[in-house]
Amino acid sequence: VAADDRGNLQAQTGGRLTPAAALPVADRDLLFIALKLGFMEAALAEGKAVAYVEDCFAGLSDGARRLVLGS
């Protein structure tokens, strides 16, 4: 995931950057999940916050849920 000089999100696909708006809907959803998890991880790394997530990934396919869970 990268941002250009105007703040537009891009994802690296096939060795090149592709604008998030040009990605298929499922890939765009994964891109935003990755960003949200990254921000959450950074906030929790400071040790001053607690996160509770309940069933927020229920709408994702099984493959996407496995990807998010890292298994």
| Tens of pLDDT, residues 12-23 | 888 898 999 999
pLDDT band at 71 (very low <50, low <70, confident <90, very high): low
Length of the chain: 71
Quote the CA–CA distance of 29 and 68 in Å, as a whole number. Answer: 11
Supply the pTM of this predicted model. Answer: 0.61
Evaluate whether 20 touches 10 at the Cβ level (below 8 Å).
yes
pLDDT at 46 over 70: yes
Secondary-structure percent of the chain, ordered helix, strand, coil, rounded to 5: 45, 15, 40
